[in-house]
Structure 1
Amino acid sequence: MGAIDCGTNSIRLLIADLPEESAGSSAPLVDVSRRMEIVRLGQGVDRTGRLAPEAIERTRVALADYAAEIEKAGVDRVRMCATSASRDASNAADFRAMVERTLGVPPEVVTGDEEARLSFTGAVRGLPADAEPPYLVVDIGGGSTEFVVGTRTDGVRGAISVDIGCVRMTERHLHGDPPSPAEIAAAEADIAAAVDRALAAVPGREAATLVGLAGSVTTVVALAEGLKEYDPGRIHHARVPYERVVSVTDYLLGATREQRLAEPVMHPGRADVIGAGALVLRIIMERAGMPSVVASEHDILDGIAWSLAQPGR
């Protein structure tokens, strides 16, 4: 099966097989290929309300490469989900037409609620035994952040998507290199208001464990762990205390883009927006009263793949 997640900042591919039935319901997918390209589809959407032609073209190039790999692997089922940027854009029809021409299947422009539920499904399978339920799963994307509360046994209790992604917050507030204290304060106020609204809606303050997803979280965790290279095996299910998240966030917001790029764990396409992503994580932990965050390398992409195993897919 082939799953594609197209967000505001990146487009990702997972080609996977289902685990053997004897492995149990909590067994992970069997990865054949995982890939990620930073295409910044949401470039300028918060300001213009439209997808930029050059952003659509960057996405087309990456998607054509994925389509070739899917065909070579003999994948029989493909699902592509497009999220925040393609929900918000007035010219989203241009994007959908490009995808159908390139991939051969139309993208599903999922709602924020569906995005949150897919993220939850991908994240909670295989969580370590010391991750106490209920879980608050947060997926910090480029255009939005999804909040989901639930357990493995009872499923989702509440889900909401709010527009505080790392690209959106950078474009809206963090213009300096590094950003000024006034810019950071404006971003903090914007993020805190959205986080409080989300935590009340799900309700997030009743959760026992915070699980963080996507590149902003995993990059912060890699920096907090002092990794010399990006190592998904060491990042997946690492638990990082609040104090270290604060320290990394302060460093990222005080560093120049050149200094952030020099970090060995930093993807070049993330260096200009990672400060905002870290700030979103820090404020979520503050407002939810969470002493630590458990990082997960499994997220909405895995949720999309698992959805293909459901009857009718």
Structure 2
Amino acid sequence: MAAIDCGTNSIRLLVADLPEPAAGPTASMVDVSRRMEIVRLGQGVDRTGRLAPEAIERTRVALAGYAAEIGDLGATRVRMCATSASRDASNADEFRAMVHDTLGVAPEVVTGDEEARLSFTGAVRGLPADARSPFLVVDIGGGSTEFVVGDRGTPGGETAERVRAAISVDIGCVRMTERHLHDDPPTPEQVAAAEADIAAAVDRALSVVPGREAATLIGLAGSVTTVVAIALGLDSYQPERIHHARISYDEVAKVTADLLSRSSAQRMEYPVMHPGRADVIGAGALVLRVIMERAGMPSVVASEHDILDGIAWSLADPS
């Protein structure tokens, strides 16, 4: 099976072998290939309401490479989900036509709630047995952040996860950078404005999703995993060390303050920093820190498995 997640900042591919349904809810998928390209599809969407032609072209080039790999690996089913930027854009039809021409299937512009539920499935399957439920899963993307609270479920039951509530709010690392953090590095006034904007959105989300009742916070996507990699002091980006690593609120706050005090070029001094993330990671870290503050979470567990894995798991059901 092949799953593609097209977000505001990046487009990612997972080709995997899925277990037979009879294997039960604790069975694992087997990765065949994982790829990620920074295409910044959401460039300027918050300001213009449209996908920029150059952003669509960057996405087309990456998608053409993915289509070739999917064909070479012989994937039998393909699902592509497009998220925040393509929901917001007035020229989304142009984007969808490009995807169909390039990939051969139409993209699903999923709702925020569906995005959150897919993220939850991807994050919760495979957690250590001693991870305490309920879980608050937050997926900090480029244009939006998804909040979902739920439980892993009863081992041996018909489903492995039970979602209690989910919501998507328009705070993400690209959107907050473009809206507030105009200087490089941002000024204290710009950071304060971004923090106030984020806090208001987080409080709205937590009024719908009972995140303060959760026992474990799980953070998804590149902003979280990069912050965790920096906190761990890694000399290279090592997914196997980042996946399910736990860091404290104090560590998150320290990394966030450091990132926001640096220019994009100075952030590249971190060996774990992806070049396409350096200009927006300060805002992403700030979103994580504010979520932890407002939800009262003393620590966060990073997951390298997220909506992309949830999309792949959704293909296990042929209905």
TM-score range, shorter chain: over 0.9
Structure 1 Cα separation of the partners of residues 41 and 137 of structure 2:
24
Q: Secondary structure at the match of 2:165?
A: strand
Query: Is 2:13 aligned against 1:6?
Result: no
Given residue 78 of structure 1, which amino acid in structure 2 is its aligned partner? V
1:177 Cα deviation after fit: 1.1
User: Residue in 2 aligned with 1:18?
Assistant: 18
Structure 2 residue 200 is the aligned partner of structure 1 residue 193:
yes
**Alignment-derived partner of residue 302 in structure 2:** 295
Match of 1:81 in 2: 81
Alignment of 1:222-237 (within 5 A): 222-237=229-244
Superposed displacement of residue 20, structure 1: 6.0
Partner residue in 1 for 2:168: 161
Structure 2 unaligned regions, length at least 5: 154-160
Partner of 1:285: 292
Shift of residue 130 of structure 1?
A: 3.1
Q: Deviations over 1:132-157 (max 9, x none)?
A: 10000000000000000000116000
Number of equivalences: 312
1:126 Cα deviation (Å)? 1.1
In the alignment, which residue of structure 2 is the partner of 1:182? 189
Deviations 1:141-180 (A, max 9, x none): 0000000000011600000000000000000000111100
Q: Counterpart of 2:158?
A: none
Q: Does residue 253 of the first structure (1) align with residue 260 of the second (2)?
A: yes
Equivalent residue for 1:108?
108
2:53 aligns with 53
Matched position secondary structure for 2:218: strand
Structure 1 CA distance for aligned equivalents of residues 308 and 62 of structure 2: 16
Tell me by how many angstroms 1:22 deviates: 7.8
**Alignment identity in percent?**
81
Aligned equivalent of 2:144: 144
Q: Secondary structure at the match of 1:97?
A: helix
Root-mean-square deviation (CA, aligned residues, Å) is 1.0
Q: Which amino acid aligns with 1:102?
A: T
**Equivalent residue letter for 2:305:** H
Cα distance in 2 for residues equivalent to 1:62 and 1:194: 32
Give, in angstroms, the shift of residue 256 of structure 1. Answer: 1.1
Which residue of the partner structure matches residue 121 of structure 2?
A: 121
* Residue 95, structure 1, aligned to residue 87, structure 2: no
Q: 2:280 aligns with which of 273, 278, 282?
A: 273
Q: Which residue type is aligned with residue 39 of structure 1?
A: V
Cα deviations across residues 81-120 of structure 1 (Å, max 9, x unaligned)? 0000000000000000000000000000000000000000
How far apart in 1 are the matches of 2:92 and 2:4? 17
Shift in Å, 1:24: 4.7
- CA apart distance, 1:21: 6.5
Q: Is the 8 A contact 2:84 2:144 kept in 1?
A: yes
Q: Is the 8 A contact 2:21 2:316 kept in 1?
A: no
One-letter identity of the residue aligned with 2:213: E
Q: Answer yes or no: is 1:213 the counterpart of 2:213.
A: no
- Deviation of 1:29 after TM superposition, in Å, equals 1.3
- 1:211-243 CA-to-partner distances (Å, cap 9, x unmatched) read 000000000000000000000000000000100
Taking the aligned partners of 2:208 and 2:85, their CA distance within structure 1 comes to: 23
1:240 corresponding residue in structure 2: 247
Task: Report Cα offsets for 1:250-274 as digits up to 9, x if no partner.
Answer: 0000011111012110000000000
* Distance (whole Å) between structure 1 residues aligned to residue 318 and residue 224 of structure 2: 33
- Give the whole-Å Cα distance in 1 for the aligned partners of 2:79 and 2:164: 25
Counterpart amino acid of 1:71? G
TM-score by length of 1: 0.98
Residue 282 of structure 2 aligns to a residue whose secondary structure is helix
Residues 160-215 of structure 1: CA distance to partner in whole angstroms, max 9, x if unpaired? 00000000000000011110000000000000000011011011111110000000
Deviations 1:53-105 (A, max 9, x none): 00000000000000000000011000000000000000000000000000000
Q: Distance in 2 between matches of 1:291 and 1:231?
A: 24
- Report if aligned partners of 2:146, 2:169 keep a CA contact under 8 Å in 1: yes
